[in-house]
Structure 1
Amino acid sequence: MVEHPVEHVNHFNQRMAVHFKNETLMCKVFPSNLGPMAIRWFDGVGVGFIDSFKEFTWAFESRFITCSRVPWPLDSLLFVTMREGETLKLYSDRYWEMFNEIDGDFDDVAIRTFKVGLPAEHDLRKLLTKKPVRSVRRLMDHIDEYKRVEED
Protein backbone atom coordinates (compact mmCIF):
# COMPACT_ATOMS: atom_id res chain seq x y z
CA MET A 1 0.00 0.00 0.00
CA VAL A 2 1.21 3.50 -0.78
CA GLU A 3 0.93 5.43 2.46
CA HIS A 4 2.12 8.86 1.40
CA PRO A 5 2.25 9.23 -2.40
CA VAL A 6 3.54 12.80 -2.43
CA GLU A 7 6.24 11.95 0.13
CA HIS A 8 7.12 8.84 -1.86
CA VAL A 9 7.63 10.93 -4.99
CA ASN A 10 9.61 13.59 -3.10
CA HIS A 11 11.93 11.02 -1.49
CA PHE A 12 12.38 9.25 -4.81
CA ASN A 13 13.25 12.53 -6.54
CA GLN A 14 15.82 13.31 -3.83
CA ARG A 15 17.45 9.89 -4.16
CA MET A 16 17.51 10.11 -7.95
CA ALA A 17 18.46 13.79 -8.27
CA VAL A 18 21.63 13.07 -10.25
CA HIS A 19 19.55 11.18 -12.84
CA PHE A 20 16.61 13.59 -13.10
CA LYS A 21 17.21 14.26 -16.80
CA ASN A 22 17.05 10.55 -17.67
CA GLU A 23 13.27 10.15 -17.62
CA THR A 24 13.36 6.57 -18.91
CA LEU A 25 15.58 5.51 -16.01
CA MET A 26 13.43 7.44 -13.53
CA CYS A 27 10.27 5.65 -14.73
CA LYS A 28 11.96 2.23 -14.63
CA VAL A 29 13.43 2.67 -11.13
CA PHE A 30 10.39 4.34 -9.56
CA PRO A 31 8.44 1.16 -8.74
CA SER A 32 11.43 -0.48 -7.00
CA ASN A 33 10.03 0.13 -3.50
CA LEU A 34 6.29 0.20 -4.12
CA GLY A 35 3.85 -2.10 -2.36
CA PRO A 36 1.68 -4.69 -4.15
CA MET A 37 -1.27 -2.37 -4.85
CA ALA A 38 0.94 0.32 -6.38
CA ILE A 39 2.87 -2.27 -8.40
CA ARG A 40 -0.43 -3.54 -9.87
CA TRP A 41 -1.27 0.04 -10.85
CA PHE A 42 2.21 0.52 -12.33
CA ASP A 43 1.99 -2.73 -14.30
CA GLY A 44 -1.39 -1.62 -15.66
CA VAL A 45 -0.11 1.69 -17.02
CA GLY A 46 -0.05 1.16 -20.76
CA VAL A 47 2.96 1.90 -22.94
CA GLY A 48 2.57 5.31 -24.53
CA PHE A 49 -0.04 6.34 -21.95
CA ILE A 50 2.40 8.69 -20.23
CA ASP A 51 4.88 10.97 -22.02
CA SER A 52 7.10 12.25 -19.21
CA PHE A 53 8.23 11.44 -15.69
CA LYS A 54 6.38 14.51 -14.44
CA GLU A 55 3.17 13.21 -16.02
CA PHE A 56 3.90 9.78 -14.55
CA THR A 57 4.27 11.12 -10.98
CA TRP A 58 1.13 13.23 -11.42
CA ALA A 59 -0.81 10.10 -12.44
CA PHE A 60 0.67 8.18 -9.50
CA GLU A 61 -0.21 10.90 -6.97
CA SER A 62 -3.71 11.25 -8.46
CA ARG A 63 -4.36 7.50 -8.20
CA PHE A 64 -3.21 7.22 -4.59
CA ILE A 65 -4.26 10.63 -3.21
CA THR A 66 -6.79 9.00 -0.90
CA CYS A 67 -3.91 7.17 0.78
CA SER A 68 -2.29 10.44 1.83
CA ARG A 69 -1.81 11.02 5.53
CA VAL A 70 -3.60 14.02 6.93
CA PRO A 71 -1.77 15.36 9.99
CA TRP A 72 -3.69 15.58 13.24
CA PRO A 73 -4.34 19.10 14.55
CA LEU A 74 -2.26 20.19 17.53
CA ASP A 75 -5.26 20.32 19.86
CA SER A 76 -5.68 16.54 19.41
CA LEU A 77 -3.12 16.16 22.19
CA LEU A 78 -5.60 17.68 24.62
CA PHE A 79 -7.84 14.66 24.22
CA VAL A 80 -5.20 12.03 24.93
CA THR A 81 -5.52 11.19 28.61
CA MET A 82 -4.59 8.21 30.73
CA ARG A 83 -7.55 5.87 30.97
CA GLU A 84 -8.66 4.28 34.19
CA GLY A 85 -6.58 1.16 34.79
CA GLU A 86 -4.21 2.00 31.92
CA THR A 87 -0.47 1.62 32.48
CA LEU A 88 1.92 4.51 31.99
CA LYS A 89 3.53 2.54 29.15
CA LEU A 90 0.24 2.20 27.24
CA TYR A 91 -0.66 5.85 27.85
CA SER A 92 2.75 7.13 26.74
CA ASP A 93 2.72 4.87 23.66
CA ARG A 94 -0.70 6.25 22.61
CA TYR A 95 0.36 9.81 23.39
CA TRP A 96 3.61 9.71 21.37
CA GLU A 97 1.89 7.96 18.48
CA MET A 98 -0.55 10.87 18.30
CA PHE A 99 2.24 13.43 18.80
CA ASN A 100 4.18 11.97 15.87
CA GLU A 101 1.16 12.45 13.62
CA ILE A 102 1.19 16.23 14.20
CA ASP A 103 3.23 18.38 11.85
CA GLY A 104 5.45 21.01 13.43
CA ASP A 105 7.78 21.49 16.37
CA PHE A 106 5.66 21.66 19.51
CA ASP A 107 7.85 20.21 22.25
CA ASP A 108 6.62 22.73 24.83
CA VAL A 109 3.00 21.79 24.10
CA ALA A 110 3.89 18.09 24.21
CA ILE A 111 5.38 18.41 27.68
CA ARG A 112 2.36 20.28 29.06
CA THR A 113 -0.32 18.14 27.45
CA PHE A 114 1.37 14.87 28.42
CA LYS A 115 1.43 16.00 32.06
CA VAL A 116 -2.19 17.19 31.97
CA GLY A 117 -3.24 13.86 30.49
CA LEU A 118 -2.03 12.04 33.59
CA PRO A 119 -4.43 11.64 36.52
CA ALA A 120 -3.93 14.37 39.16
CA GLU A 121 -2.86 11.78 41.74
CA HIS A 122 -0.23 10.13 39.48
CA ASP A 123 3.30 10.41 40.94
CA LEU A 124 4.81 11.39 37.58
CA ARG A 125 2.35 14.26 37.24
CA LYS A 126 3.23 15.43 40.74
CA LEU A 127 6.94 15.32 39.89
CA LEU A 128 6.43 17.22 36.62
CA THR A 129 4.42 19.85 38.50
CA LYS A 130 7.11 20.31 41.18
CA LYS A 131 10.06 20.10 38.79
CA PRO A 132 8.95 21.06 35.28
CA VAL A 133 11.06 19.71 32.43
CA ARG A 134 12.13 21.86 29.50
CA SER A 135 12.78 19.19 26.87
CA VAL A 136 10.94 16.19 25.48
CA ARG A 137 14.13 14.17 25.99
CA ARG A 138 14.04 14.89 29.73
CA LEU A 139 10.31 14.07 29.84
CA MET A 140 11.03 10.76 28.12
CA ASP A 141 13.73 10.03 30.73
CA HIS A 142 11.19 10.58 33.53
CA ILE A 143 8.60 8.44 31.75
CA ASP A 144 11.13 5.63 31.35
CA GLU A 145 12.02 5.80 35.06
CA TYR A 146 8.36 5.55 36.06
CA LYS A 147 7.66 2.75 33.57
CA ARG A 148 10.49 0.72 35.11
CA VAL A 149 9.01 1.25 38.57
CA GLU A 150 5.56 0.31 37.25
CA GLU A 151 6.90 -2.91 35.70
CA ASP A 152 8.62 -4.03 38.93
Structure 2
Amino acid sequence: MPSRFTRPPFISYDGKTSPVEHVSHYIQMISLYNQNDALMCKVFPSSLGPTALRWFNGLRKESIHSFGELIQEFGVRFMTCSQVPRPLDTLLFMKMGAWETLQSYANRYWELYNEIGGGNEKIAASTFRFGLPEDLELRESLTKRPPEDIRQLIRRIEEYKRLEDDRQ
Protein backbone atom coordinates (compact mmCIF):
# COMPACT_ATOMS: atom_id res chain seq x y z
CA MET A 1 0.00 0.00 0.00
CA PRO A 2 1.26 3.51 -0.73
CA SER A 3 2.39 5.23 2.47
CA ARG A 4 -0.23 8.00 2.34
CA PHE A 5 -3.08 5.85 1.06
CA THR A 6 -6.41 6.41 2.78
CA ARG A 7 -9.26 4.08 1.94
CA PRO A 8 -12.09 6.11 0.36
CA PRO A 9 -15.61 5.80 1.83
CA PHE A 10 -17.14 3.22 -0.51
CA ILE A 11 -20.79 2.34 -0.78
CA SER A 12 -20.84 -1.38 0.05
CA TYR A 13 -22.07 -3.56 -2.78
CA ASP A 14 -25.10 -5.46 -1.50
CA GLY A 15 -25.42 -7.97 -4.36
CA LYS A 16 -28.78 -6.50 -5.40
CA THR A 17 -27.81 -3.56 -7.60
CA SER A 18 -25.92 -3.17 -10.85
CA PRO A 19 -22.35 -4.49 -10.67
CA VAL A 20 -21.38 -2.12 -13.49
CA GLU A 21 -22.53 0.89 -11.46
CA HIS A 22 -20.65 -0.40 -8.42
CA VAL A 23 -17.42 -0.86 -10.35
CA SER A 24 -17.81 2.60 -11.91
CA HIS A 25 -18.30 4.12 -8.47
CA TYR A 26 -15.33 2.16 -7.10
CA ILE A 27 -13.04 3.29 -9.92
CA GLN A 28 -14.15 6.88 -9.47
CA MET A 29 -13.50 6.79 -5.73
CA ILE A 30 -10.01 5.33 -6.15
CA SER A 31 -9.12 7.14 -9.37
CA LEU A 32 -5.87 8.56 -7.98
CA TYR A 33 -4.53 5.00 -7.85
CA ASN A 34 -6.10 3.48 -10.98
CA GLN A 35 -2.65 2.89 -12.50
CA ASN A 36 -1.76 0.61 -9.58
CA ASP A 37 -3.43 -2.68 -10.57
CA ALA A 38 -2.35 -4.53 -7.42
CA LEU A 39 -3.76 -1.81 -5.16
CA MET A 40 -7.02 -1.73 -7.12
CA CYS A 41 -7.38 -5.50 -6.53
CA LYS A 42 -6.32 -5.34 -2.88
CA VAL A 43 -8.77 -2.55 -1.95
CA PHE A 44 -11.74 -3.85 -3.98
CA PRO A 45 -12.98 -6.29 -1.28
CA SER A 46 -13.40 -3.37 1.14
CA SER A 47 -16.13 -2.06 -1.19
CA LEU A 48 -18.12 -5.28 -0.92
CA GLY A 49 -20.98 -6.14 1.39
CA PRO A 50 -21.41 -9.58 3.03
CA THR A 51 -22.83 -11.46 0.02
CA ALA A 52 -20.27 -10.18 -2.47
CA LEU A 53 -17.47 -10.59 0.06
CA ARG A 54 -18.37 -14.30 0.44
CA TRP A 55 -18.08 -14.60 -3.36
CA PHE A 56 -14.72 -12.82 -3.31
CA ASN A 57 -13.38 -14.98 -0.47
CA GLY A 58 -14.47 -18.06 -2.42
CA LEU A 59 -12.29 -17.24 -5.43
CA ARG A 60 -9.53 -19.79 -6.01
CA LYS A 61 -6.11 -18.60 -4.94
CA GLU A 62 -4.15 -17.03 -7.82
CA SER A 63 -7.15 -17.34 -10.19
CA ILE A 64 -7.20 -13.57 -10.76
CA HIS A 65 -4.20 -11.88 -12.38
CA SER A 66 -5.38 -8.29 -12.89
CA PHE A 67 -8.01 -5.79 -11.86
CA GLY A 68 -9.60 -6.21 -15.31
CA GLU A 69 -10.05 -9.94 -14.65
CA LEU A 70 -11.41 -9.25 -11.17
CA ILE A 71 -14.13 -6.89 -12.37
CA GLN A 72 -14.95 -9.22 -15.26
CA GLU A 73 -15.51 -12.11 -12.83
CA PHE A 74 -17.44 -9.81 -10.51
CA GLY A 75 -19.69 -8.74 -13.38
CA VAL A 76 -20.29 -12.35 -14.46
CA ARG A 77 -21.16 -13.43 -10.91
CA PHE A 78 -23.57 -10.56 -10.27
CA MET A 79 -24.87 -10.17 -13.85
CA THR A 80 -28.40 -11.08 -12.78
CA CYS A 81 -28.45 -7.89 -10.69
CA SER A 82 -28.00 -5.76 -13.80
CA GLN A 83 -31.05 -3.81 -14.83
CA VAL A 84 -32.29 -4.40 -18.35
CA PRO A 85 -32.62 -0.98 -19.98
CA ARG A 86 -36.09 -0.04 -21.11
CA PRO A 87 -36.59 0.74 -24.78
CA LEU A 88 -36.95 4.37 -25.88
CA ASP A 89 -40.58 3.84 -26.93
CA THR A 90 -41.50 3.36 -23.25
CA LEU A 91 -41.70 7.15 -23.15
CA LEU A 92 -44.55 7.04 -25.68
CA PHE A 93 -46.78 5.24 -23.19
CA MET A 94 -46.18 7.63 -20.33
CA LYS A 95 -49.19 9.81 -19.57
CA MET A 96 -49.90 12.49 -17.00
CA GLY A 97 -52.52 11.26 -14.54
CA ALA A 98 -55.86 13.10 -14.25
CA TRP A 99 -55.07 14.47 -10.78
CA GLU A 100 -51.29 14.57 -11.19
CA THR A 101 -49.41 17.84 -11.00
CA LEU A 102 -47.09 18.95 -13.76
CA GLN A 103 -44.25 18.73 -11.21
CA SER A 104 -45.01 15.08 -10.48
CA TYR A 105 -45.37 14.15 -14.15
CA ALA A 106 -42.15 15.96 -15.08
CA ASN A 107 -40.26 14.18 -12.27
CA ARG A 108 -41.52 10.76 -13.42
CA TYR A 109 -40.76 11.59 -17.04
CA TRP A 110 -37.16 12.72 -16.43
CA GLU A 111 -36.49 9.76 -14.17
CA LEU A 112 -37.57 7.38 -16.94
CA TYR A 113 -35.78 9.42 -19.62
CA ASN A 114 -32.52 9.23 -17.65
CA GLU A 115 -33.02 5.52 -16.94
CA ILE A 116 -33.37 4.87 -20.66
CA GLY A 117 -30.18 6.80 -21.23
CA GLY A 118 -31.50 9.90 -22.89
CA GLY A 119 -31.20 9.80 -26.62
CA ASN A 120 -32.67 12.02 -29.25
CA GLU A 121 -33.73 15.37 -27.78
CA LYS A 122 -36.50 15.83 -30.36
CA ILE A 123 -38.03 12.54 -29.22
CA ALA A 124 -37.87 13.76 -25.61
CA ALA A 125 -39.82 16.90 -26.44
CA SER A 126 -42.43 15.01 -28.46
CA THR A 127 -42.96 12.19 -25.98
CA PHE A 128 -43.22 14.63 -23.07
CA ARG A 129 -45.83 16.65 -24.96
CA PHE A 130 -47.87 13.57 -25.99
CA GLY A 131 -48.10 12.51 -22.34
CA LEU A 132 -49.79 15.77 -21.38
CA PRO A 133 -53.58 16.16 -21.40
CA GLU A 134 -54.83 17.77 -24.62
CA ASP A 135 -56.37 20.72 -22.80
CA LEU A 136 -53.20 21.68 -20.92
CA GLU A 137 -51.70 25.04 -21.93
CA LEU A 138 -48.18 23.62 -21.89
CA ARG A 139 -49.12 21.01 -24.49
CA GLU A 140 -50.50 23.73 -26.74
CA SER A 141 -47.35 25.81 -26.25
CA LEU A 142 -45.08 22.85 -27.07
CA THR A 143 -47.16 22.11 -30.18
CA LYS A 144 -47.17 25.66 -31.51
CA ARG A 145 -43.52 26.35 -30.68
CA PRO A 146 -41.60 23.07 -30.37
CA PRO A 147 -38.46 23.46 -28.25
CA GLU A 148 -35.18 23.32 -30.13
CA ASP A 149 -33.36 21.36 -27.44
CA ILE A 150 -33.70 19.80 -23.97
CA ARG A 151 -32.71 23.00 -22.18
CA GLN A 152 -35.49 24.90 -23.88
CA LEU A 153 -37.97 22.13 -23.04
CA ILE A 154 -36.93 22.18 -19.39
CA ARG A 155 -37.20 26.00 -19.22
CA ARG A 156 -40.70 25.86 -20.68
CA ILE A 157 -41.76 23.12 -18.22
CA GLU A 158 -40.37 25.17 -15.31
CA GLU A 159 -42.29 28.22 -16.51
CA TYR A 160 -45.57 26.29 -16.56
CA LYS A 161 -44.85 24.63 -13.20
CA ARG A 162 -44.51 28.11 -11.67
CA LEU A 163 -47.84 29.10 -13.24
CA GLU A 164 -49.42 25.93 -11.83
CA ASP A 165 -48.01 26.72 -8.36
CA ASP A 166 -49.33 30.28 -8.52
CA ARG A 167 -52.86 28.99 -9.25
CA GLN A 168 -52.89 26.71 -6.22
Report the TM-score when normalising by structure 2: 0.75
Task: Identify unmatched segments of 5+ residues in structure 1.
Answer: none
Alignment of 1:1-152 (within 5 A): 1-2=14-15, 3-9=17-23, 12=26, 15=31, 16-20=33-37, 23=38, 25-42=39-56, 44-45=57-58, 48=61, 50-53=63-66, 54-103=68-117, 105-152=119-166
Q: Which moved more, 1:67-76 or 1:32-41?
A: 32-41
Distance between the aligned counterparts of 2:50 and 2:157, measured in 1? 39
Distance between the aligned counterparts of 1:59 and 1:32, measured in 2? 17
**Which residue matches 2:11?**
none
Q: 1:89 is matched by which residue type in structure 2?
A: Q
Query: 1:23-70: per-residue Cα shift (whole Å, max 9, x none)?
Result: 3x222122344445434433x335616332344323311221011122
Distance between the aligned counterparts of 1:108 and 1:35, measured in 2? 42
Q: 1:133 is matched by which residue type in structure 2?
A: P
Question: Sequence identity, in percent?
Answer: 48
Query: 1:83-135: per-residue Cα shift (whole Å, max 9, x none)?
Result: 11111111111111111111352111000110111011001001111211111
Q: CA RMSD in A?
A: 2.4
Q: 2:64 is matched by which residue type in structure 1?
A: D
Q: Give the helix-richer structure, 1 or 2.
A: 1
Q: Aligned residue pairs: how many?
A: 148
Question: Is the alpha carbon distance of 1:128 and 1:35 closer, same or farther for their aligned partners in structure 2, counting shifts above 3 Å?
Answer: farther
Q: 2:113 is matched by which residue type in structure 1?
A: F
Report the TM-score when normalising by structure 1: 0.82
Distance between the aligned counterparts of 2:48 and 2:145, measured in 1? 47
